[in-house]
Structure 1
Amino acid sequence: MKKLTDFEINKKLENLIDWEYYDNALHTDFEFDNFKDCMSAMNRIAFECEALNHHPEWTNIYNTLDITLTTHDADGVTELDFKLASAINTIVEVEEED
């Protein structure tokens, strides 16, 4: 998988709500109503990660979830990171509507 240039990454970020690019990775965080809702979202995200065979660096503290995406094999951000970020946004949107 090809590492994207800073220009390509910043252009793609225009269409990806609530994500930032720094330290050679995509970053976001989400705050949920409670721990249960956060864990539910994490479990749904985990299924998508397995389907894509691409896994985030993430941390959870009570109702917050911090996510970092990068493709270690490419030493930077690739199309796969954007595909997973988009899927994560869709999952979290659905969680918030429940």
Structure 2
Amino acid sequence: MTTDSKNLTDKQYRILAVVCDGNGKNENGEFVPCDIDELLDRLSYRTTKQSMQFSVRALEARKLIVREYEKRRGARRVLLIPTLKAKQLMGYAKPQSFIEDPLLSLL
């Protein structure tokens, strides 16, 4: 665990793990995000939808999750998208270096 992940509660960490997994990848290899109902089904603990929305808002405030909207299963659904910061925190992405230009790294 990194120092940032130590600041997450156990429940936030579990939520973030499910959000980072999403629904896997589609046939084009693109990430498929999960919605709140799918998140509730996959968590290892039971909670209410209202409580989950509170936890999601806390993760949004920390810039770990963003919401998008899509029509799924006949209704407008809130999709939960992990940010790059969340993916790095959970080990799904490598941390970026501070040097963006590869030519500058040679100096």
TM-score category, normalised to shorter length: 0.3 to 0.5
TM-score, length of structure 2 as denominator length: 0.32
- TM-score (norm. length: structure 1): 0.34
Q: Which has the larger radius of gyration?
A: 2
Greater per-residue strand proportion: 1
Higher relative contact order (CA 8 A, sep 6+): 1
